[in-house]
């Protein structure tokens, strides 16, 4: 019953104009920060780790801004799922680095869109999928009631969804060899067998090895990208990856991957998902950072 009510509420929110959704989001984000809710508490820990030179006032201001963007994402994403394209395309205010994306989709090699958890990654995935065939890993949400809605939304632009297992990874490799796109969020916490530690903003962070394995086995290229929240919609950014990302040496490759994530974060630190417990796994001998 609880999940059904949440789903109904989200569907009601999906009918709100984008401007109204964002106003409501900023208000609820202010509440999250003012009440020092768990997302705010985790964000403060992460920000202190990643920006040790930042004074307390600046850290709190950044945390407050982040909570507003977090809540805006929650309020605007139902509309993204319901409306899809061409509504999304009509709300793309600007595209930075479009030449890099056009070059990628014109290449016979496949392309891995490396999309950190910043801004609204749902927007980027749906926008990109209308430009070239796209096959992506799909992990069903914890709320089963939402699966049909989200899955239908992601497939409406022509994307093919495959499970997050060995069979799914094999399908991704085949798709990349056919010259297709895939989208990978590189800053999720991988299980120990699927990640190694690499620095992210000076913090040793367990980092997924999946992207390196896909690049090595498919011959595909990588492209960093994000969809930032701006007045009137979103602004897409495409950034070239470092050549070191393609290195067979996993240590070198993962360090380059995280530097790419850092370059995306630097575009708008307040839009990055600082509320995620990214550093819950620590190298041996290092203390845990979350309560």
Task: Examine the domain organization and report whether 156 and 105 are in the same domain.
Answer: yes
Task: Examine the domain organization and report whether 77 and 89 are in the same domain.
Answer: no
Task: Examine the domain organization and report whether 134 and 43 are in the same domain.
Answer: no
Q: Please indicate whether residue 214 or residue 156 has the higher confidence score (pLDDT).
A: 214
**How far apart are the C-alpha atoms of 217 and 232, rounded to whole Å?**
40
DSSP string, 70-99: HHHHHHHHHHHHHH-TTHHHHTEEEEETHH
Task: Examine the domain organization and report whether 20 and 146 are in the same domain.
Answer: no
Task: Examine the domain organization and report whether 243 and 111 are in the same domain.
Answer: yes
Q: Please indicate whether residue 5 or residue 29 has the higher confidence score (pLDDT).
A: 29
Task: Examine the domain organization and report whether 73 and 204 are in the same domain.
Answer: no
**How far apart are the C-alpha atoms of 178 and 133, rounded to whole Å?**
10
For 114-146, what is each residue's pLDDT tens digit?
999 999 999 999 999 999 999 998 887 777 767
- Residue 283 in any domain: the answer is no
Final residue in a domain of this structure, among 21, 48, 83: 83
Task: Examine the domain organization and report whether 134 and 162 are in the same domain.
Answer: yes
**How far apart are the C-alpha atoms of 40 and 63, rounded to whole Å?**
7
Residue 2 has pLDDT above 90, yes or no: no
Task: Examine the domain organization and report whether 199 and 264 are in the same domain.
Answer: yes
- Residue 134's domain comprises 84-272
- Residue 282 in any domain: the answer is no
Final residue in a domain of this structure, among 55, 83, 111: 83
pLDDT at residue 141 in the model: 72
Residue 1 has pLDDT above 70, yes or no: no
Handedness of CA 258, 227, 276, 215 (dihedral sign): negative
Q: Structurally, how many domains does the chain consist of?
A: 2
- Residue 288 in any domain: the answer is no
Task: Examine the domain organization and report whether 47 and 101 are in the same domain.
Answer: no
The residue length of the chain stands at: 291
pLDDT at residue 134 in the model: 94
pTM of the complete model: 0.95
Find tokens 């499970």 and name the residue. 163
Task: Examine the domain organization and report whether 193 and 166 are in the same domain.
Answer: yes
- Residue 39 in any domain: the answer is yes
- Residue 159 in any domain: the answer is yes
Residue 290 has pLDDT above 70, yes or no: yes
pLDDT at residue 143 in the model: 74
At 267 the three-state DSSP class reads coil
User: Looking at residues 147-161, what average pLDDT do you find?
Assistant: 78
- Residue 56 in any domain: the answer is yes
For 37-89, what is each residue's pLDDT tens digit?
999 999 999 999 999 999 999 999 999 999 999 999 999 999 999 998 999 99
Final residue in a domain of this structure, among 31, 62, 83: 83
- Residue 246 in any domain: the answer is yes
Task: Examine the domain organization and report whether 22 and 91 are in the same domain.
Answer: no
Handedness of CA 143, 145, 148, 150 (dihedral sign): negative
H helix intervals, the chain: 2-13, 18-34, 38-50, 56-83, 87-90, 98-106, 121-129, 147-155, 166-177, 210-218, 250-265
For 220-244, what is each residue's pLDDT tens digit?
999 999 999 999 999 999 999 999 9
- Residue 118 in any domain: the answer is yes
Where residue 22 falls among pLDDT bands split at 50, 70, 90? very high
Q: CA angle at residue 271 from 266 to 272, to 5 degrees?
A: 70
pLDDT at residue 138 in the model: 83
For 173-217, what is each residue's pLDDT tens digit?
999 999 999 999 999 999 999 999 999 999 999 999 999 999 999
Task: Examine the domain organization and report whether 137 and 220 are in the same domain.
Answer: yes
45 contact partners, CB below 8 Å, separation of at least 6: 289, 290
| Tokens found for residue 138 | 């799909």
């Amino acid at each position: 019953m609880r999940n059904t009510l949440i789903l109904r509420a989200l569907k009601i929110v999906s009918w709100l104009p984008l401007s109204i959704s964002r106003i409501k989001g900023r208000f609820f984000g202010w509440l999250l920060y003012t009440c020092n809710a768990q997302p705010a508490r985790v964000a403060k820990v992460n920000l202190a780790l990643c920006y040790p030179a930042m004074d307390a006032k600046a850290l709190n201001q950044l945390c407050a801004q982040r909570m507003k963007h977090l809540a805006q994402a929650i309020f605007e994403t139902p509309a993204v799922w319901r409306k899809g394209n061409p509504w999304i395309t009509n709300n793309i205010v600007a595209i930075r680095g479009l030449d890099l994306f056009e070059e990628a989709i014109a290449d016979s090699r496949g392309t891995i869109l490396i999309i950190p958890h910043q801004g609204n990654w749902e927007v980027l995935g749906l926008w990109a999928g209308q430009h070239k065939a796209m096959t992506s890993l799909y992990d069903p949400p914890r709320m089963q009631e939402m699966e049909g809605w989200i899955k239908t939304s992601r497939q409406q632009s022509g994307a093919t969804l495959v499970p997050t297992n060995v069979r799914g990874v094999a399908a991704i490799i085949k798709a990349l060899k056919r010259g297709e796109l895939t989208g990978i969020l590189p800053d999720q916490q991988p299980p120990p067998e699927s990640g190694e530690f690499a620095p992210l903003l000076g913090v040793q962070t367990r980092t997924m090895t999946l992207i390196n394995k896909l690049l090595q086995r498919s011959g595909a290229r990588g492209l960093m990208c994000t969809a930032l929240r701006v007045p009137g919609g979103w602004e897409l950014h495409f950034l070239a990856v470092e050549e070191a990302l393609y290195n067979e040496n996993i240590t070198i490759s993962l360090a380059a991957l995280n530097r790419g994530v850092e370059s995306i974060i630097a575009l708008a630190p307040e839009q990055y998902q600082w509320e995620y417990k990214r550093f819950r796994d620590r190298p041996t001998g290092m203390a845990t950072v979350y309560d």
